[in-house]
A and B are shown apart, each in its own frame.
Chain A
Amino acid sequence: MTVTEFIVSRLNYWIYIILMMIGLFAMISKKNLIKKLIGMSIFQTAIILFYVSLGVKEGSNIPILEHSVSHAAEHGEIIRAEDYANPLPHVLMLTAIVVGVATLGVGLAIVQKIHKEFGTIEEPEILAKIESGDG
C-alpha cells in the first residue's frame, strides 16, 4: 500500500473527526448563541459525512437501477450488490438532514425568545442579567 493509497483510504475519516471536533469546540467555547447553533450543525453534518463514507463502494453506481437493468431483472437476471452504493446509510441520513433543520429551527426560536427577554444573545451578558435579577 503506497502513501497515497493509505491517505485516500483514511482521509474521509480524518476530516470527519476534524469537522466534528470543530463543531464540538464551537459548542463549548463560543459565547454567541447563533455561533453555538452553527457549531451544532457542523457537528451534525460531520456525523452524516461519516455514515455516507461507510456506504461508498469503489467502482459502484448510484443506487438507482437503469431502465435496461430493471428490465433484465424482470427476466430473472441477478442484480449484484457490489455494483451499487450501499443505500441504507443514505436513507438513514436523508431523514436526519430534514429533522436536523427542524431542530435547528427550534433552537433559533429559543434564541429569538432569549433576545426578546434579555436583549442580548451573548452568554456571559445573559448570565450576568440573570444573576442581577434583571430581565
Chain B
Amino acid sequence: MKTLGAIAVIITGALLLYASEDFPSWGDPHSPANQYRVSSHYVQNSFGETSVPNMVTAILADYRGYDTLFETVVIFTAGIAIIAILRGPIDKRVRLRLASERKMRETNLILAQTSRILVPVIQLFALYVIAHGHHSPGGGFQGGVIFGASLILLALSFQLQTALDRVSEKKAVTLAAIGILIYAGIGFVCLLAGGNFLDYSALQVLMPVGAIEARSHGILGVEIGVAFTVAAIMFAIYANLSSHGRMKGGL
C-alpha cells in the first residue's frame, strides 16, 4: 500500500508541478483572477453600495449571502451529526472500564482563578469582534469561535459539568437553531418588505435609514445569527468529543 500510494502521489505531484508553469506569477496584479470584473466590482463599489469598509464582511454577508446561510446550515448539521454518532447505549464492559479509570478530578487553584478572570474578558472580546466586523477583521465566524472557545476554557479549567451548568447541551443546540432562524428570518423579513430574499436594502421601510445603511444593518443582523450558531456548535462538538457523548467526566 505504501509503495502504491507513493507512486500515485509522485505521478500526481509531477503532473501538478508541470501544470504550475502556466499559473500567473505570484502577486501579479494583472492575473485573470485579479482582473476579472467581479472582484474589481467588489473592491470599487462595495463601500458605496453597503457602507461597510471591510470588503470581506460586505461580500460574505451581503453579495454572497446565500452561500454563507448554507455554510452555517452545514456547521449546524455537523454538530447534529456528531451528537447522533456519539449518543447511544453504552456497552456494559466499556462503562465498567470507564468507571474504574476515571475519578473526579481536583480543580487546580491557580488554573481556576486565572480562567475565572479570563473568561469574561474573552467573551467581551468575542462580542467586540462580532460587532466590529464592519470596520476591522472579524465578524460572526471569528467572534463565534472565540465565544465557543471561552466556554471550552471553562470546561477545561474546571470540569465539563461547570460549563454545562451554564450552557447545557440542549440549550446549545437550541441556540444554534436560533442563529439560523435569525439569519433566515432576516431574509424573510426582506421578502415581506418587498425585496428579494436576503436583499437588505428592502429593510429601509422598517428603519429610519436609507437603503445603503439598511444593508449595513442587515449585515450586522446576519453576523449575529452566524455567531450564535458557530459558538453553540463549537461548544457542543467539544462537549461531545471530550466525554464520548455521555456529557460527564471528560477531559
Q: Which residues of A are at the interface with B, using a C-beta cutoff of 8 A? A: 8-14, 17-18, 20-21, 24-25, 28-29, 53-60, 62-67, 70, 73, 78-82, 84, 86-91, 94-95, 98-99, 102-103, 105-106, 108-110, 112-113, 116
Contacts of A80 in B (CB 8 A): 44
Within the assembled complex, what's the spacing in Å between the Cα atoms of A4 and B12? 26
Q: Which residue of chain A has its CB nearest to the CB of B91?
A: A116
Chain B interface: which size bin?
Answer: 35 or more
Pick the contact of B26 from A21, A53, A65, A113 — CB < 8 Å? A53
Contact B20 A84 (CB under 8 A): no
Within 110-146 of B, Cβ neighbours of A (below 8 Å) are at 135-137, 141, 145
Measured between beta carbons, the chain B residues less than 8 angstroms from A98 are 71, 75, 141, 145, 230
Cα separation A62 to B34 with both chains bound (whole Å)? 14
5 nearest CB pairs, A to B: A102-B78, A28-B5, A9-B25, A29-B5, A65-B53
Q: Are A58 and B42 in contact (CB under 8 A)?
A: no
CA distance A66 to B20 in the complex (A): 35
- Check if B137 sits within 8 Å of A64, measured CB to CB: yes
B contact face: mostly helix, strand, loop, or mixed: helix
Q: List 20 A-B contacts (CB under 8 A).
A: A10-B26, A11-B26, A17-B20, A24-B8, A29-B5, A29-B6, A54-B31, A62-B137, A64-B54, A65-B54, A79-B43, A81-B43, A86-B34, A89-B33, A91-B59, A91-B60, A99-B74, A105-B82, A109-B85, A112-B86
In the assembled complex, the Cα of A10 lies from the Cα of B16 at a distance in Å of 12
Q: Does B55 count as interface, using CB distance less than 8 angstroms?
A: yes
* CB-based contact A25/B40 at 8 Å: no
For the complex, is B251 an interface residue (Cβ under 8 Å from A)?
no
Q: Which residues of A contact B209 (CB under 8 A)?
A: none
CB distance A87 to B78 under 8 Å? no
A103 to B91 Cα, complex, angstroms: 26
Distance between B32 CB and nearest chain A CB, rounded to angstroms: 9
Q: Hey, which chain A residues are within 8 Å of B17, CB to CB?
A: 14, 17
Q: Are the CB atoms of A94 and B56 closer together than 8 Å?
A: yes
The residue of chain A having its C-beta at the shortest distance from the C-beta of B79 within the complex is A102
A73 and B141 alpha carbons, distance in the complex (Å): 28
> Which residue of chain B has its CB nearest to the CB of A27?
B5
